[in-house]
Each structure stands twice: as structure tokens, then as C-alpha cells.
Amino acid sequence: MRINPGFLNLQDRYLFALIGQKVREYKGQHPDQDIISLGIGDVTLPLSPAVVAAMQQAAAEMGRAETFRGYGEEQGYAFLRQAICRYYAQKGVDLLQTEVFVSDGAKSDLGNILDLFAADNTVLIPEPAYPVYVDTNLMAGRKIIFLKGEAQNGFRPLPPAALHADLAYLCSPNNPTGTVYTKDELQSWVDWALRRGAVLLADSAYEAFIQDPELPTSIYQIPGAKECAIEFCSLSKTAGFTGVRCGYTVVPQALVREGVSLNGLWLRRQTTKFNGVSYIVQRGAEAALSPEGMAQNRESIAYYMENARLIASALQELGLWFTGGQNAPYIWLQCPGGMSSWEFFDFLLERCALVGTPGVGFGPSGEGYFRFTAFGRREQLLKAMERLRQLRLSSL
């Protein structure tokens, strides 16, 4: 028996473990200090009343013989797929119900989609990046090319015309940098993919945070994208579903390679290796996408965006360079005084009991950068900004 050699190439996931360890040590030495974390990428506001009511109602249905439901279709109930199509229609994107696949979350689908592609394909990953893009491809033994994000390109790198790759990841709004590609920039990605016959894997988990009506919230707002892109979405950040677990993936019927429909391949993958999302969760997701649910989601998003604005305005005041914070829940700042990512982490923890995420944890281009998230509670966040202000970072 031989273990998949791809697994043996993986590095340990030390980033969040190391953060946890450092925080525990600090706590041991300063038991009374009130540590504030701006590090986690997880929501903190409760589910909206519409969602709770829908899930309670669905649970009750499952307890009565007349309304009980067993297996649903692996790709999701029609009621939810239709609700997702309506959500896309509001963005000016027409989708068929058969192009939408309900899942337990974007993270699962981002990994599982790779089943469709040969192991000898080359993958392009703009970096810094969500570590899942890298790790899932290492597991599959694929060759990875990195595209460097940096201050010069505003952390919105574009593919060089001469570069070949078979698959490429996009994440806009971006985790960790909070940057958002413009329509023109996404158009250059689509044009590149069409010329190369590549498939774009567009992670749109944070699209609901886009406030500027000029910025694209779906790759399919770009002409040609249905012939080259798969889009991954999630209710995790849109509706506070990180613990409820529901996302969806769009595979257009027009996406064909080697004469084979990728939509058909994904359907085959999902019907073989997945058994659908809980009926109760799907009713919750339907409610989250209803007019009532959407109004409640917008309130939560406005709360997080006000957090982002407060962080951004504190950093501006302090004269720090950063991206994000306007159409994304992430703020990506250059560490002051030439500090490395981990030096700044230690500095913040030691000097003001504030926790963030070292940028180097998202790839080598993240060295010297640092991520704050806007998902915390307001009162904590205000305290955190006050502590930052007192640090006199600009004089470092």
C-alpha cells in the first residue's frame, strides 16, 4: 500500500497553531490583560430571524410523517437553486437551474472541483492566497506557478500574456488582501483564459461586501466568462453561515473542454461523492436569500463594513499603507518600521495585547504585511484602534 505522495509534500499548518501558542504564552505571563483579536476570519453576528424561523420550521416538517423528506438531489433542492438564480439575476447574470450546485461550503467545493482535472495540469495561483488553493493542489501532485501580488500592482496581479497555465485561481474581493479586481482587470483574466484554454476557479465568497456599484460581484458579469470560469460562492460571510454550512458552485453549460461538458462532469462527481446538503440548512439558505433575509444580511454586512471603515481610518491617521477595507472585510497593511510579519505580530501582542494575522502565512509575497479582519464586535474593535493610536506607529 502506498500513501498518496502529494500528502507527504505538504507543510504542517503552523500559521494559526503558532498564533494560538504565542497568544497562550502571552496570556500565561499577563493573566489580567484583555487580549483583542482582529485575526479571525469568522463572523460574530447571529443568524437573522428569517433564517432561524425557516430552519425550525424545516426541522418540524422532518418530524412529521406527511412532510418528512429523505434523500434530496445531490445538487440541491429546486427551491434553493431557483433562489440562487434569482440572486444572480439581480446582478444581471442569467443562470439555468442546472448550472447551480448547492454544497456544504465553498471550501469543500474549491478542493473537490480538482477531481475533474488531470494531475498533470499546471495551476496558476496569485499569491498571497488562501492556503487551501495551494494545499489541495499539492495533495493532487499538480505543478503550481505563483503570480506575485505586491504593492506595485496593488496586490491585484494580472496574468502575463505569455504565461501558460491550465487552471487559475481568482479571489475577488481577496482574502487576505481585501483588494477587488475591476471589470477591466477581470476581463483581462477572462481573455487570457480563453486564449489559453484555461479554466478560471473564481472564489467569490466575499462578493456581498462589494459596495461600489462599478465593481463586479460575479465573474459572469464579464463577457466570455461562461466559457472559461467556475464560480464558488458561500453564505458563510453573506448571511453568517460559517457554522450552518451552505455554499454553491456555478458551472456554466457553456464550459466545455475536450468536447466534454464540465457541468456534466461536476454533476457526475457530486452524485458519486456527495449526498446533498441538509434539508434544514437548505431551507435556511432559501430564507437568507429571500427579500426579508437579504435585508437582514445587509444590516450585518453594514455593521462589518463600518468596522472595516474604522480600521481603515485609524490606519490612515497613522500613516500606514494598506489595501482593502472598502469593499471587503479584510485590511492588509504594510508593517511599520520595516518589521517582518512575525516581528509586527509580536510587537502588537507585547505592546498592546492585539492579535492579527502575519501576512507571510499566506505566502512569501505576504512577508512584511499583516491582516486585520472586520468581523469582530464594535466595542472591542474601538478599543483595539485606540490602542493602535497610542503606539505612535508612524514614528517607528
What residues numbered 91-130 form the site for its own copies, per CB under 8 A? Answer: 104-105, 107-108, 111-112, 115-121
The reply to whether 244 sits near its own copies by the rule CB under 8 A is yes
The reply to whether 204 sits near its own copies by the rule CB under 8 A is no
Nearest-10 Cα torsion for 13, 15, 17, 18: 130
- Pick 130 or 322: Cβ nearer its own copies: 130
Task: Report whether 309 contacts 325 (CB < 8 A).
Answer: yes
The reply to whether 4 sits near its own copies by the rule CB under 8 A is yes
Q: Binding-site residue total for its own copies (CB under 8 A)?
A: 78
- Pick 285 or 384: Cβ nearer its own copies: 285
Q: Which of 126, 276, 325, 358 binds its own copies (CB under 8 A)?
A: 276
> 303 to 362, contacts with its own copies by CB under 8 A?
none
Question: What residues does 201 pair with on adjacent strands?
Answer: 169, 230
- Pick 28 or 63: Cβ nearer its own copies: 63
Count of all residues that appear for the chain in the document: 396
The reply to whether 135 sits near its own copies by the rule CB under 8 A is yes
> How many CA within 13 A on the CB side of residue 94?
2
**If you search the block for the grid coordinates 442569467, which residue do you land on?**
94
The reply to whether 136 sits near its own copies by the rule CB under 8 A is yes
Task: Report whether 288 contacts 50 (CB < 8 A).
Answer: yes
**Cα(320)–Cα(334) distance, integer angstroms:** 7
Q: Which of 160, 258, 291, 395 binds its own copies (CB under 8 A)?
A: 258
Strands 122-127 and 143-148: parallel
The reply to whether 273 sits near its own copies by the rule CB under 8 A is yes
> 158 to 177, contacts with its own copies by CB under 8 A?
166-167
- Which range, of 3-11, 176-184, 208-216, 319-327, touches its own copies by CB under 8 A? 3-11
The reply to whether 379 sits near its own copies by the rule CB under 8 A is no
**Cα(115)–Cα(105) distance, integer angstroms:** 17
Question: What residues does 261 pair with on adjacent strands?
Answer: 256
- Pick 18 or 132: Cβ nearer its own copies: 132
The reply to whether 302 sits near its own copies by the rule CB under 8 A is no
- Pick 44 or 153: Cβ nearer its own copies: 44
Give least dist CB 67 to its own copies, A. 8
- Pick 121 or 253: Cβ nearer its own copies: 121
> 47 to 76, contacts with its own copies by CB under 8 A?
47-49, 51-52, 55-56, 59-60, 62-65, 68-72
- Which range, of 19-27, 173-181, 277-285, 332-340, touches its own copies by CB under 8 A? 277-285
> 183 to 202, contacts with its own copies by CB under 8 A?
197-199
Question: What residues does 99 pair with on adjacent strands?
Answer: none
The phi and psi torsions of 37 (rounded to 5 degrees) equal -105, 125
Task: Report whether 123 contacts 165 (CB < 8 A).
Answer: yes
> Under 8 Å CB-to-CB from 326, ≥6 apart: which residues?
178, 211, 212, 308, 309, 312
The reply to whether 274 sits near its own copies by the rule CB under 8 A is yes
Task: Report whether 253 contacts 263 (CB < 8 A).
Answer: yes
Give least dist CB 1 to its own copies, A. 4
- Pick 247 or 358: Cβ nearer its own copies: 247
**If you search the block for the grid coordinates 444581471, which residue do you land on?**
92
Candidates 77, 126, 36, 76; CA nearest to 349 is: 36
